[in-house]
Chains A and B, each alone.
Chain A
Amino acid sequence: MRFQGRLPAVATVVATAFLAACGGGDGGTSVLAFAPPLPPPTSIGELPAPPPVSEAPPPLTVPKAVCAEGDVPESALQGQVPAAMRQAGFQGFSCNLKLVGQFEGEGGSWSSASFRDPGGRTCAYHATAHPLDSQGNARGRVHPGVPVIDITDPARPSRSMSLATAAMLDPWESLRVNARRQLLLAGNGRNSRFGGPEIDVYDLSADCRTPQLLASMEVGTGKDGGIQLAKGPKGHEGNVSPDGLTYYIGDIEARRYHAVDITNSTRPRMVASFDMAPSGLVTSHGLSVSEDGKRAYVVSVGVPLPGEVLDADAPTRNGFLILDTSEVQARMPNARMKLISATTFKDGSVAQHTIPLTIAGKPHLVMVDEGGSAGLSETANVKLACEAKLPPYPMARIYDISDEKKPVLVSKLMLETHDPANCDKLLPDIAGLSTFTYGSHYCSVDNRGNGTALACSHFNSGMRVFDIRNPARPREIAYFNPAGTTTTPAGSNHLQPRAAGVASPDWCASRADFDFERGLLTTMCQDNGLLMLEFAQNTWPFAQSTPSTLQN
């Protein structure tokens, strides 16, 4: 699917840019199209134009991990898969993370989750590509939907079934587990434009290998008994509050965040919706919710116009908002979400998601982009960012939110690939590729209540883990970049040009799950499928680490 030409309306522009951003390109080169900027809004309602956060000069890149004997460390820059290695067939890198099990299945797409049931069994679930591509052609899926994979023995993962109800056919980035209520949830994502208003809810409590369907129903259309939107919602991103009572949809087409009451998990019901439109040329995407449910940390997706990238004084739109969701949490009639603060920055775009966490007793927020300083990480945008001497690829960053009205940037998790000084060394690697190349997509923390380690998927750079005990000086402790595959499985959205028979680097784009007891990290890369990775001794957990099922 290609996105070409100029599109008329701002909502469509932002949303459509995003479709491509989130892998909407089914193949070939995805061309992002942006309309000319609209005149400044006369009123921006409850969302005032925020000033950019005062940022320090570009920090040093994150110190590299020190690998153990027997690892296969990176041979060039941190995070880089050099062009020559790509042409020869990428064989993978590993450092302090060892592959102990893999379930390739039919590949995967954008999100994954895991759950340990009361019987002690552990299962993983991940999104896969919709059985039909954007043109309506069958992809050749055998077991469409979300595979249920028993990873109780991580060395021998096995699929017990696949979930193929409306939302599970393609949950995109919305698949989540809430361990406290033992629920598996998703919205009908399918790259937004083709998505729908359905929410699926499964019960995992009896046996994680056989999720039990509680609900697969529309919300926000009036059928659920809740608020009715002018236009039915479409899924894409989503997350659940820690108490498991509210599921939030990031609806990029409508540029809204919707709150869905799942207290009665058989009858999801939309109870509130927050409109991003008053803030101008931005849309919604991922989010997270505070422990008490009274705050939502939602991203503000902005993509700079080319002229803005080179203009140091151009307004910034990409970042995150802190919303007061007390009325939603209290289930007040006509509940509203209210803006507390907005934080934006210039050296990133296409904001992906956030994670509130406590580090050493202090409240912080991890915020992750999926676009670099000039947009998505394909050659033209990378060159533009490089010309502006800005990081061309997306990254995670950590904020101190002790004062939620004035978040303070603490650190950026820049790899050497992000350093504009290295632009020329990296451009050959991404020649001919589209949409995503280097840079971050999703992060998970080992424990939101006591964050000590952060794992972030980086498209062509694999899964990378950082020590964040000192959030001002994060350091890399491990990475695993799986060997490339020579073909794209039917359930993968990694549809990029490939030389015949040559293994090209994967797209690692999913969240991850830390397993404290077993010293494992479980994640999913699109072509390689589910990966169970074991930390090398003395890598993680740290002495200060504690187990948690609340990881993003």
Chain B
Amino acid sequence: MLASALPFHAAAWEADVHFGLTRWLAVQAGFSAPQADAIATGNQRVDFGAMETMLLVTEYACTGADADGRAEAARAARRLRAPGGGEASTEALRTLLRDAGPKAGLLLLKFGEALHPLQDASAHEGADAAGIDAPAIAGLPCDPPPLTAASGGEQAHRADLTAARPAAALAMARASFEWLQRYPPIGDAPRVATEWPRIEAQLGGFVTASTKAAKAAWFREHGMEDTRFLEGISLPDGAQPWTATWPGQRLPRLQEAASTQHGVPEEVLRFFDGFFAAWLGENDPAAALGLANVEGTPAQRDLAARLRLWRLHDHGTAAALAHAPSALTRAQLQRVDALVRDRRAYARYPRLADAFFPLMAIESYAPPLLPYIVRPLPALADGEPRMLAIAKLRHAPYDELLLVAQRRAGRWSVVSLQGVRDH
């Protein structure tokens, strides 16, 4: 059983904390700017930015084809995210500090990585009800089982925001600072740290900032001109659309958007290739459904709205609606219409392949990098085959998107879209 090892149901901070605050605290702890950059980069890459840490919760908890691979990924996720908090959240730090010694200068990325679970442990506290949405797809066995529907929706990303839980944010900052001070010396250079009270006194604006623009302003006021790392966090952009992209990702480039996954029927791959091309292309995202009348049944209207929501570049504005666990109400649908009225609100990519994070499937052999992963789902009562596609889009880096397709009368069509927070 994997259940006890899985980091489900946990809130977690985002890049404003894992990169921005960490870097600023590292400088306050006496690290040089390049050293602070390395620590912050290692920390942030746990969520996205490196293949080795981009672990798909749906794969290791539900769909991964190789049991050993799933277990290994689950262990890695536990080490990186420490859902239970407590001792587990500092295990990586304790191990690293014990072993670093003369290699301390080579292990700053690892140090940042080890700070990540410590910080997220404080995010978990009191946030159970707002935890990650486990995939709730009929017939999909997951370990552990998904949360009840009541836990997602409006709360989906709120627990990730410092303004929602300022006390936890401050506790996290202080714990981070203390561990930063414990890192072994690098070479002969002494580190001189700022006193904690002086640091704490400056953190109020950071904690309460409620837009990307406000966060960026705080960082600039505190000596960090480069705020591109705020890309993708769950706060709304603010007065202006956020266009900067974080250069700290070290991800291989996907050569093409067409999937080359082994063992998947060709007709399924070609269906999803076509669907993604239509959904992520220049036209109305809902046109990917291929319906003559896109505003057909209530279920189709709901799905069309979600397809549009997940294409919005300002995901912070759309997150609550996109994660809504039950059918969107009339008012919510009207809000969606308002959000997408200006087509420029959609995320655009120079190449279709650039829309995707590259993914690795959990298989018994190493698969190629994939734009999306396809897994079979058990057929429902009608006996028609179903397939699940898992993707991560660059403009919504904290979510996995699950698309269920079903074949009816010899024709495949997408019947649901669900977002799963996976950080």
| Contact between A118 and B52, CB atoms less than 8 A apart | no
Q: Which of A202, A205, A264, A266 contacts B360 (CB 8 A)?
A: A264
B107, B250, B252: most-surrounded residue (chain A CB, <10 A): B250
| Contact between A210 and B107, CB atoms less than 8 A apart | no
| Contact between A271 and B366, CB atoms less than 8 A apart | yes
Interface string of A140-175 (1 = CB under 8 A from B): 000000000000000000000101010000000000
User: Are A209 and B34 also in contact (CB < 8 A) when A161-B105, A163-B106, A203-B109 are?
Assistant: yes
Closest Cβ of chain B: how far from A265's Cβ, in Å? Answer: 6
| Contact between A181 and B106, CB atoms less than 8 A apart | no
B367 cross-chain contacts in A, Cβ below 8 A: 331
Return the chain B residue nearest A269 by Cβ: B366
B37 cross-chain contacts in A, Cβ below 8 A: 119, 206-207
Q: Which of B35, B106, B248, B253 contacts A205 (CB 8 A)?
A: B248
| Contact between A333 and B252, CB atoms less than 8 A apart | no
| Contact between A207 and B38, CB atoms less than 8 A apart | yes
- Provide the bound-state CA to CA distance between A269 and B360, in Å: 14
Interface string of B247-271 (1 = CB under 8 A from A): 1101011010000101000000000
Instruction: Flag whether A182 is at the interface (Cβ < 8 A).
Output: yes
Instruction: Flag whether A105 is at the interface (Cβ < 8 A).
Output: no
User: Are A265 and B52 also in contact (CB < 8 A) when A243-B252, A271-B366 are?
Assistant: yes
- Provide the bound-state CA to CA distance between A203 and B248, in Å: 11
B110 cross-chain contacts in A, Cβ below 8 A: 212-213
| Contact between A263 and B360, CB atoms less than 8 A apart | yes
- Provide the bound-state CA to CA distance between A213 and B111, in Å: 11
Interface string of B360-375 (1 = CB under 8 A from A): 1000111111000000
Closest Cβ of chain B: how far from A88's Cβ, in Å? Answer: 43
B109 cross-chain contacts in A, Cβ below 8 A: 203, 206, 212-214
Q: Which of B38, B52, B248 contacts A267 (CB 8 A)?
A: B52
Instruction: Flag whether B397 is at the interface (Cβ < 8 A).
Output: no
B135 cross-chain contacts in A, Cβ below 8 A: none
B38 cross-chain contacts in A, Cβ below 8 A: 206-207, 210, 212
| Contact between B360 and A118, CB atoms less than 8 A apart | no
Instruction: Flag whether A211 is at the interface (Cβ < 8 A).
Output: yes
Instruction: Flag whether B11 is at the interface (Cβ < 8 A).
Output: no
B250 cross-chain contacts in A, Cβ below 8 A: 181-182, 203, 205
A210 cross-chain contacts in B, Cβ below 8 A: 34-35, 38, 105-106, 108
Residues of A within 8 Å of B, CB-based: how many? 37
Q: Which of A180, A213, A245, A264 contacts B106 (CB 8 A)?
A: A213
A207 cross-chain contacts in B, Cβ below 8 A: 34, 37-38
Instruction: Flag whether B122 is at the interface (Cβ < 8 A).
Output: no
| Contact between B365 and A331, CB atoms less than 8 A apart | yes
Interface string of A203-245 (1 = CB under 8 A from B): 1011101111110000000000010000000000000000111
A265 cross-chain contacts in B, Cβ below 8 A: 50-52
A181 cross-chain contacts in B, Cβ below 8 A: 250, 252
| Contact between B105 and A266, CB atoms less than 8 A apart | no
- Provide the bound-state CA to CA distance between A292 and B369, in Å: 13
Closest Cβ of chain A: how far from B326's Cβ, in Å? Answer: 38
Closest Cβ of chain A: how far from B266's Cβ, in Å? Answer: 15
Instruction: Flag whether A416 is at the interface (Cβ < 8 A).
Output: no
A271 cross-chain contacts in B, Cβ below 8 A: 365-366
A118 cross-chain contacts in B, Cβ below 8 A: 247-248
B227 cross-chain contacts in A, Cβ below 8 A: none
| Contact between A212 and B247, CB atoms less than 8 A apart | no
Q: Which of B51, B187, B252, B365 contacts A180 (CB 8 A)?
A: B252
Return the chain B residue nearest A160 by Cβ: B105
Closest Cβ of chain B: how far from A467's Cβ, in Å? Answer: 32
A residues 429-458 near B (Cβ < 8 Å) are none
| Contact between A261 and B366, CB atoms less than 8 A apart | yes
- Provide the bound-state CA to CA distance between A263 and B51, in Å: 7
Instruction: Flag whether B41 is at the interface (Cβ < 8 A).
Output: yes
| Contact between B366 and A331, CB atoms less than 8 A apart | yes
| Contact between A206 and B52, CB atoms less than 8 A apart | no
| Contact between B253 and A243, CB atoms less than 8 A apart | yes
B253 cross-chain contacts in A, Cβ below 8 A: 180, 243
B252 cross-chain contacts in A, Cβ below 8 A: 180-181, 243-245, 263
Instruction: Flag whether B103 is at the interface (Cβ < 8 A).
Output: yes
Instruction: Flag whether B419 is at the interface (Cβ < 8 A).
Output: no
User: Are A212 and B366 also in contact (CB < 8 A) when A206-B38, A330-B260 are?
Assistant: no
Interface string of B18-53 (1 = CB under 8 A from A): 000000000000000011011001100000001110
Instruction: Flag whether A77 is at the interface (Cβ < 8 A).
Output: no
- Provide the bound-state CA to CA distance between A106 and B107, in Å: 25
- Provide the bound-state CA to CA distance between A331 and B365, in Å: 8
Q: Which of A212, A245, A266 contacts B107 (CB 8 A)?
A: A212
B34 cross-chain contacts in A, Cβ below 8 A: 119, 206-207, 209-210
Return the chain B residue nearest A206 by Cβ: B38
A118, A119, A210: most-surrounded residue (chain B CB, <10 A): A210
| Contact between B52 and A264, CB atoms less than 8 A apart | yes
B34, B108, B248: most-surrounded residue (chain A CB, <10 A): B34
Interface string of B72-85 (1 = CB under 8 A from A): 00000000000000
B187 cross-chain contacts in A, Cβ below 8 A: 161
B residues 65-120 near A (Cβ < 8 Å) are 103, 105-110
- Provide the bound-state CA to CA distance between A207 and B247, in Å: 13
Return the chain A residue nearest B262 by Cβ: A332
Instruction: Flag whether A329 is at the interface (Cβ < 8 A).
Output: yes
Interface string of A243-277 (1 = CB under 8 A from B): 11100000000000000010111110101000000
Closest Cβ of chain B: how far from A177's Cβ, in Å? Answer: 13
| Contact between B365 and A213, CB atoms less than 8 A apart | no
- Provide the bound-state CA to CA distance between A118 and B367, in Å: 30
A226 cross-chain contacts in B, Cβ below 8 A: 366
- Provide the bound-state CA to CA distance between A265 and B54, in Å: 12
B262 cross-chain contacts in A, Cβ below 8 A: 330-333
Return the chain A residue nearest B249 by Cβ: A205
Closest Cβ of chain A: how far from B36's Cβ, in Å? Answer: 10
- Provide the bound-state CA to CA distance between A213 and B38, in Å: 11
| Contact between A206 and B108, CB atoms less than 8 A apart | yes
A163, A205, A264: most-surrounded residue (chain B CB, <10 A): A205
- Provide the bound-state CA to CA distance between A331 and B108, in Å: 32
- Provide the bound-state CA to CA distance between A118 and B37, in Å: 12
A261 cross-chain contacts in B, Cβ below 8 A: 366
- Provide the bound-state CA to CA distance between A119 and B366, in Å: 33
A residues 522-539 near B (Cβ < 8 Å) are none
- Provide the bound-state CA to CA distance between A443 and B71, in Å: 45
- Provide the bound-state CA to CA distance between A209 and B103, in Å: 14
User: Are A212 and B260 also in contact (CB < 8 A) when A182-B250, A266-B52, A331-B368 are?
Assistant: no
- Provide the bound-state CA to CA distance between A182 and B45, in Å: 14
Return the chain A residue nearest B50 by Cβ: A265
A positions within 8 Å CB-CB of B: 118-119, 161, 163, 165, 180-182, 202-203, 205-207, 209-214, 226, 243-245, 261, 263-267, 269, 271, 292, 329-333
Cβ contacts A to B, 6 pairs, < 8 Å: A119-B37, A265-B51, A269-B366, A292-B255, A331-B368, A333-B262
B positions within 8 Å CB-CB of A: 34-35, 37-38, 41-42, 50-52, 103, 105-110, 187, 247-248, 250, 252-253, 255, 260, 262, 360, 364-369
CB-based closest 5 A-B pairs: A212-B109, A206-B38, A207-B34, A333-B365, A266-B52
Besides A118-B247, A180-B252, A207-B38, 18 other CB < 8 A contacts?
A: A118-B248, A161-B187, A202-B106, A206-B34, A206-B109, A206-B248, A207-B37, A212-B38, A212-B108, A214-B52, A264-B51, A264-B52, A264-B360, A265-B52, A271-B366, A329-B368, A330-B262, A331-B365
